[in-house]
Amino acid sequence: MAVFVLRLDHRSRDKRLTTHCALIARAFGSRGMYYTGERDESVEKSVAGVARNWGGSFFIRHVPSWKSVFRNFDGKKAHLTMYGMPFAKKIGAIRKARGKLLVVVGGSKVPAGIYGACDWNVGVTDQPHSEAGALAVFLNALKLRGNFGKARLHIIPQERGKKIEERGKV
């Protein structure tokens, strides 16, 4: 399954949250992230730098509206919302979906049309929470395998402490 993320309604004050959504999407095996709202080149450069240093071909791309992404996306769509159906009851069907999956995470106000345009509206909990947290829980449950080839930096697992190995220029 090829998974992509759509982050709705980015604002300049949301730099960290949007960056965290992109980093989570990348780390858990998504191919890329689209975002609407204000274009933010600093977020794009930061995420591109992580992909360059840590490997993979993850992209981040600003798009004018969610409708343009939906119109051009030829796959299933899952919206993460605390108002959705319980995550545990829907994740099996979502895992069985073939082809592409677009995972939609909210912003300041989710357009009403999103709810009807998605194949699934799923809540990882029915309590207020962060879209970054919901995205991590959801993508972890999909059990995707990221491809981080051509990485310049690699973690060497340690019981205590930390060790990073540099393996040449990318």
Reported as a pLDDT band with limits 50, 70 and 90, residue 168 is: confident
Number of compact structural domains in the chain? 1
**Residue 119 DSSP code:** S
Please give the pLDDT value at position 169.
Answer: 63
pLDDT digits (tens, 9 = 90+) for 88-145: 999 999 999 999 999 999 887 899 999 999 999 999 999 999 999 999 999 999 999 8
Q: How far apart are CA 83 and CA 142, in angstroms?
A: 20
What sections of 28-167 are H helices per DSSP?
41-54, 66-72, 87-96, 112-117, 131-142
3 state SS of 107: coil
Summarised one tens digit per residue, pLDDT across range 63-88 is 999 999 999 999 999 999 999 999 99
Residue 157: CATH number of its domain:
3.40.1280.10
pLDDT at residue 119 in the model: 98
pLDDT higher than 80, residue 44:
yes
The arithmetic mean of pLDDT across residues 53-61, rounded, is 96
Residues 6 or more apart from 12 whose CB is under 8 A from it? 38, 40
Residue range of the domain that includes 89: 2-166
Average pLDDT, the chain: 95
Residue 37, CB-side half-sphere exposure with 13 Å CA sphere: 23
Whether 170 shows a pLDDT value over 60: the answer reads no
Residue 33: pLDDT over 70 = yes
Amino acid 147: pLDDT: 85
User: Cβ contacts of residue 100 below 8 Å, gap of 6+?
Assistant: 1, 2, 3, 4, 73, 74, 75, 76
pLDDT at residue 30 tops 70? yes
